Amino acid sequence: RAKLRGRNRSHHFSPDMADALYRKMTLRHHLTLALEAEAFELYYQPIVDMTTQQLKGFEALIRWHDEELGQVSPAEFIPLAEETGQIVPLGKWILKTACKQLSVWREKFGKGFIMSVNLSRAQLQSSLAPTIESLLLRYNIPPSQLALELTESTMLQEYDDAKQCLDDLASLGLELYLDDFGTGYSSLSQLQDLPISTVKLDQSFVQGEHKGSQAIIEATRAICEKLDLRVVAEGVETQEQLDYLKSCRFDYCQGYFLGRPMPAHEHEERNFTLQHTAVV
Ligand code: C2E
Ligand code: MG
Ligand code: MG
Ligand code: MG
């Protein structure tokens, strides 16, 4: 933002830009140290099956607490790690940690849920499918229990290469979710062209931030039904939102109302009970 404003106003380097740049440089430096120290943690947020009102699975979400900087949001450091290429080793750590957790939970809590992991565009390389395949073997996980989440915009550049990688992943038997649906730049044809099983409708629609939010929610549901795709509503924060999504026959819901992202041990202590056991 500072860059844009700076460009519009003048060619001088503004204090805003200096602050932003300094923050970026600091983060970059600390990120390097954090990678070496593996100073990250995964939190897990439940995804609820609306038909059974049971847990469908968990989405793994990275957390970084830096001693000096405090808690840094993934919305801030993931884009930075994408810029520097650090997302590749970081992404490997995320995948390994999520798979390890999944194998522990399979033993403890049964085998009926899916772990979904967010992927960045830079991770879509030809080596990804073999890497994941060996993780599945190492942790004895059936591929159908692992899902990967991708945003629409990640598909923009070098579409054919990305598609090849997704096809490889899908042929391993993994599920692919299209994340933040409705906010990116994808064409609807991607829904058919890519091996996607599930669409995650962006939380801004669920929270009514757009003029036609309800129309978009209903249209998304209809498209997914016609294309035989499952659909998850993200960012459910109230009973009212949940009731509405239920009436639209959404397959799955996720949001603070149903459960916040939490560290693994907290889910274990709660025995996986959902925040709102009476979902409807
Ligand atoms: P996302 O994948 O769309 O994840 C959903 C975000 O919404 C998460 O934010 C989650 O904590 C938040 N959220 C969930 N329910 C609610 C709700 O009811 N209300 C509101 N207001 N927010 C809710 P988080 O954890 O800060 O992550 C932000 C983004 O950072 C993620 O969006 C994803 O794009 C990226 N990210 C997070 N973890 C990873 C990761 O391990 N790898 C990669 N590549 N990206 C990640
Ligand atoms: Mg996601
Ligand atoms: Mg999302
Ligand atoms: Mg998002």
Q: Where are the beta strands (DSSP E) in 203-265?
A: 230-233, 252-253, 262-263
- Other Cβ atoms less than 10 A from the Cβ of 273: the count is 12
Q: Taking the C-alpha atoms of 224, 43, 186 and 204 in order, what is their torsion angle to the nearest 10 degrees? A: 80
pLDDT band at 13 (very low <50, low <70, confident <90, very high): confident
Q: Which among 43, 61, 180 is the best mutation to test ligand 1's pocket, defined by most ligand atoms within 8 Å of the CB?
A: 61
CA distance 119 to 133: 16
Say how many Å lie between the CA of residue 180 and the centre of ligand 3.
4
Burial code (b: 16+ CB inside 10 Å, e: under 16) for 182-205 equals bbbebeeebbeebebebbbbbbbb
Indicate whether residue 202 lines ligand 1 (CB < 6 A).
no
Indicate whether residue 235 lines ligand 1 (CB < 6 A).
yes
What is the residue type of 16? D
pLDDT band at 25 (very low <50, low <70, confident <90, very high): very high
8-state DSSP, 270? T
- pTM for the model stands at 0.93
Q: pLDDT tens for residues 58-90?
A: 999 999 999 999 999 999 999 999 999 999 999
pLDDT band at 7 (very low <50, low <70, confident <90, very high): low
| CA nearest to 117, candidates 99, 139, 90, 137 | 99
Give the number of the atom of ligand 1 that is nearest the alpha carbon of residue 149: 2
Q: Hey, is 151 helix, strand or coil?
A: strand
Residue 105 C-alpha from the chain's centroid: 20
ipTM of the complex as predicted: 0.98
